[in-house]
Structure 1
Amino acid sequence: MPETATSPETLPILLLNGPNLNTLGVRQPEVYGSHTLADVVELAERTAAELGFGLRAAQTNHEGEMIDWIHEARGQISGIVINPAGWTHTSVALADALVVPEVPIMEVHISNVHKREAFRHHSYVSPIAAGIIVGYGIRGYEFAIRRLAELVG
């Protein structure tokens, strides 16, 4: 997982993006917009830095890999901003892993999942999240980082 330097007094924020988010800007731009994953990471890094935090960002299409990253982050991060993508609606294992680091979790979705298919209305992550941001495009990541900074600050 990529590392970003952080100040000694503040642990970094972990930004995780789930399956298919590597295709942002290409896949269904009418739903997800034209911004790329690189745009998301750049916005998140800029916002975190403004607030005095480093950022560790990673994306995977492999659920076990994400779970391993979450386990490894215990004691090394201030909080997690996560867009679990399709795993939101299917993964009890991911929800179970998210409690391991014992830090605040912010759940982000680029689209308004509540205006989409019924199966997208349920989240296994939401019950453990400190906050949920949906439907604000990639700005939702910025909002999530700002809220996370308030919670841990």
Structure 2
Amino acid sequence: MPASIVMTVLAADRPGLVSALSETIAARGGSWQESRMARLAGQFAGILRVECPEAECDALLAALVGLEAQGISVQAKREAAAPAEKRETLALDVMGNDRPGIIRSLSAAIAGAGGNVEDLSTSLESAPMSGHPIFHAKGIVSLATGSDPAVLIAAIENLGTDLSVSVES
């Protein structure tokens, strides 16, 4: 059975970062399973999950630490496969005026309604006419089976009248 490794990667952005990372993984028989990567303020930031043969796991973890010499910081953790809990997933889209603490309020509303953030992307966009910053969040939230999505929607809508909330199953 292959070992699963979850990692975060951070480095000053430059050509060849993903190539160096993928070469390191492939050299130990690893298989890149899923990832999210972005350039943020001149930095490359990524999260990914790889699988590798159990016998190569320790060598791969050591090689990932060795990427620090190339300016690539990797934090990796070996994960045991956990049985998946049956949950309902919802696609969430929230837009509204930007303000300090909006992520804190949004995440508290989701947790308070029994939701779990599975995937979340946020950005600031310019309002069409005025150009002032508009907060935009898109993601996937899961709820325990039998939970009422209306509770989640209401919790988010209660954060302010300026928020537009769209939830799809």
What TM-score do the two structures reach when normalised by structure 2? 0.24
Question: In proportion to residue count, which structure has more strand?
Answer: 2
Q: Which has the higher contact order (CA 8 A, sep 6+)?
A: 1
Q: Which structure has the highest helix share of the two?
A: 1
**Could you state the TM-score of these two structures normalised by the residue count of structure 1?**
0.26
Q: Return the index of the structure with the highest Cα Rg.
A: 2
